[in-house]
Amino acid sequence: MIGIARAHTNIALIKYWGKRDKKLFLPMNSSLSLTLDAFYTDTKVTFDQTLTKDTFFLNNKEETTEKITPFLDLFREKMSSPCFAKVESLNFVPTAAGLASSASAFAALAGAINQASSLHLDTQTLSTFARRGSGSATRSLYGGFVEWNKGTDSHNSMAIPIDDASWDIAMIIIVVNQAKKTISSRDGMALTVQTSPFYQAWVESAEKDLQNIKQAIANKDFITLGEITEFNGMKMHGTMLGSNPPFCYFEPETIIAQQAIRQLRAEGIPAYMTMDAGPNVKVLCQTSTIPTILSHLETLFSKDKLIISKVGKAMHYLTQDDWEQSLQSFEDTL
């Protein structure tokens, strides 16, 4: 029983920051993201009755199954003949650098398990499983603009497709630092929820931002979309500065990037920034303005630090030939 799936990462425009249930990964607030085509994970799952334990290979290196086995168990509980699995994953995303690698990783894993197990879960139901691996993985099962409805319980905290974003939408990622973060998203999130006096205001404000940005998307109003995106992202980082002890993911080049985006707007170019839990800056823009934005950013950053991404597709299944091509592509990058 084999399943192979590809899922793209996503960048939250309305952020998820804080859990109300750490075991079930139920968020404090609903969120909304844009799926990107530049970053993705391919995962192959093989269930085999002859195996005596689960194994996990990430980028051709064997890793611990500490997180993989409990995730597999969620599906095995529903399988008629559960057995151990070999999981192979190729991650075409810089890991743990604020580029949401866990989102594509667990969305692809959920898809591959769904196919290999023959459970045939529909996408929204599958999103409730993906959520148990990584909250943001919920949204990576769909393309374009996707809402993660916080729901009332584990069964309805799920992804909802909003719009395919096929209206001149793009993103430029300014890679300030690809190194592993000193403070993980989970640790930073927990500290913020527990200690920041700004946190409750953040939750209330984020819910209002969500309703406003959905209206902007419905109207295809890029300016309002960008303004809400930047407002929401900077508020999230503000709550971190209010934590005890305070912490911040910004680095010197992060500030330079932020100033560059503000300068572009001052010159009449609609570009808006957002950041996840990491130093890298994501620039929400229109495809038609990419050459102008790049010409400005290239005076400050080397070309290898600027990655253009258009809108990503929903999670989809791959053939064995596709998998072999991915293996070759990964090896070519080494």
Q: Could you read off the pLDDT of 229-260 as tens digits, one per residue?
A: 999 999 999 999 999 999 999 999 999 999 99
Q: Could you read off the pLDDT of 260-315 as tens digits, one per residue?
A: 999 999 999 999 999 998 899 999 999 999 999 999 999 999 998 999 999 999 99
CB neighbours of residue 160 within 10 Å? 16
Could you tell me the two tokens for 57?
């290979």
Confidence bin at 96 (pLDDT 50/70/90): very low
Handedness of CA 229, 230, 232, 237 (dihedral sign): positive
Residues 148/30, Cβ–Cβ less than 8 Å? yes
Return the closest-CA partner of residue 73 out of 99, 109, 43. 109
Q: Could you read off the pLDDT of 134-191 as tens digits, one per residue?
A: 999 999 999 999 999 999 999 999 999 999 999 999 999 999 877 677 888 889 999 9
Do the bridges between strand 169-174 and strand 306-309 make them parallel or antiparallel, or are there none, so unpaired? antiparallel
Could you tell me the two tokens for 176?
């300030």
Residue-level pLDDT at 94: 64
Phi, psi (5° rounding) for residue 79?
-80, 145
pTM: 0.95
Angstrom distance (rounded) from CA 9 to CA 174: 16
Phi-psi label, residue 171: left if phi above 0, alpha if psi -120 to 50, beta otherwise: beta
Could you tell me the two tokens for 256?
């330079």
> Average pLDDT, stretch 30-47?
97
Angstrom distance (rounded) from CA 109 to CA 56: 11
Residue-level pLDDT at 285: 98
Percent of the chain with pLDDT over 70: 97
